[in-house]
Structure 1
Amino acid sequence: MLDGFAGPDTRASWAALQDAENFECMNAVLRFPFAAVKIKEAAKRGRQFDYG
């Protein structure tokens, strides 16, 4: 499934998926390397992005 998504042809492979509107495969490529993404509670309150 990830053939072509590592190395020098990655950008072209991704563009081909976009052109084909193959969103299911795009989703799978982005989700594959991550078992989970955990976001901690913000250290500061307010309308700002907490990079920590």
Structure 2
Amino acid sequence: MAYKTEKTYSTWLRRFIYFMRKCRRSSVDYTKESSFLTYLALQRNVSPNT
């Protein structure tokens, strides 16, 4: 894997962990993944292809 790709994946993982920490632990489930992706698309203007 290219270094830049690896760095990008690491950044997205950190952002996901940060997002999940804002959620209450009892409410963490797979629907939160969908919420995170929606957040990226609507609030952060990330391309769906990302």
Same fold (TM over 0.5): no
The bucket for the TM-score relative to the shorter chain is: 0.3 to 0.5
* TM value normalised by structure 1: 0.32
Q: TM (normalized to structure 2)?
A: 0.33
Higher relative helix content: 2
